[in-house]
Amino acid sequence: MGDQQKVSHISYKHNTHMLSNIFNRAVAIFPRTHRVTMSSASGQASVFEEPRIVVKKLLARAQREGDGAVVRRSIGRHELKYLDPFLMLDEFTVTPPAGFPDHPHRGFETVTYMLQGAFTHQDFAGHKGTIGAGDVQWMTAGRGIVHSEMPVGEGLQTGLQLWINLSSKDKMVEPNYQELLSDDIKRVETDGVEVKIIAGESMGVESPVYTRTPTMFLDFTLQSKAQVNQKIPESWNSFVYVIEGEGVFGSLDSSPVPAHHVLVLSPGDGLSVWNKSSKALRFALIGGEPLNEPVARYGPFVMNTHEEIDQTIQDYQHCKNGFEMAKYWKSQ
């Protein structure tokens, strides 16, 4: 693997050199010849047997949500309703007093990853907590949570919130929280690449987070001219969300993709990424094992059938089957 990584790094450097060449025709022809020279039997100079490529690219435009909050929704918008098991990815931006006041959830997990500022959370069972930049709250709503999520302090507070569906057997589990503080998040730094391992495994290092629906969530930063190859389990769905800078994803000859874009990846065993720009590139690589189950969704309730949704609405209205504490609770 080490040697192969070097090979693709060298080929990349070579190509950038050629791209800066004023003789455009040479640029167009050379990389192809070059790749054939470097090739394995398949004719592809890749460390992967079946490299994942980008099959869908969408810009997440800003929209209003909650109470005065702004979100860039990527998964969950109508062009990309569901990427099994992922229901939603929002990059949220909130300035007090805006926020996400008291609301319920059932049937999935929410992962909140703070990029800037801090958010405080309180729920109807007395759970309270504040997460700051770099911290993660992994919440399993299961059978029911009612909570508020509000920014703390002054100024802009930003982060990512991912909604992961739960399988039918897990939809009604007891609610649970896993909190990871920035200092406890394992990271690896090598050759201009830094990865923070929020869930799953990268570069031989594994996150302690328990994912009921098997999930990987990696936060990569690539310095200028850095390159990385990340394995992804073959049968999983996966996507990239570009947070900052711009990167080349999946194939070296594709156009650089700037911030706030979501990239859905093809099937395959891994992803290669290049930062050809002069600035740092930051992106989240997220993957999960598909549930392959029917999805019935009504706002913050995600079940398998319409009957279960009707039941959930009744449970919430009548404060039962997990929503008992909703009866008298209000956030402070």
Binding site for ligand FJE (CB under 6 A): 65-66, 71, 90, 92, 100, 103, 112, 119, 149, 161, 299-300
CB of 232 to ligand FJE, least distance (A): 25
Beta-sheet pairing, 205-206 with 201-202: antiparallel
Q: Which is nearer to ligand FJE, 117 or 288 (CB)?
A: 117
Nearer to ligand FJE, 71 or 240 (CB): 71
CB 151 within 8 A of CB 99: yes
Minimum distance between the CB of residue 121 and ligand FJE, rounded to whole angstroms?
8
Eight-state DSSP code of residue 50: S
Smallest distance, ligand FJE to C-beta of residue 76, A: 9
Q: What is the DSSP string of 16-40?
A: HHHHT-S-HHHHHHHHHHHHHHH--
Give whichever of 65 and 201 is closer to ligand FJE, judged by the CB atom.
65
167 by Cβ neighbours in 10 Å (0-12 / 13-18 / 19+) ranks as middle
Minimum CB distance to ligand FJE smaller for 76 or for 270: 76
Give least dist CB 225 to ligand FJE, A.
34
Two tokens at 239?
A: 């996507």
CB 25 to ligand FJE: min, Å: 49
Supply the Cα-derived Rg of the chain in whole angstroms.
21
The residues near 13 (Cβ < 8 Å, ≥ 6 apart) are: 225
25 vs 78, which CB is nearer to ligand FJE? 78
Give the C-alpha separation, 198 to 288, whole Å: 13
Q: How far is the CB of 88 from ligand FJE (least distance, A)?
A: 7
Q: Report the C-alpha gap between 280 and 75 in whole angstroms.
A: 24
Cβ proximity to ligand FJE: between 64 and 318 the closer is: 64
Residue 146, CA distances (Å) to 58, 60, 163, 279, 308 in order = 31, 27, 15, 41, 18
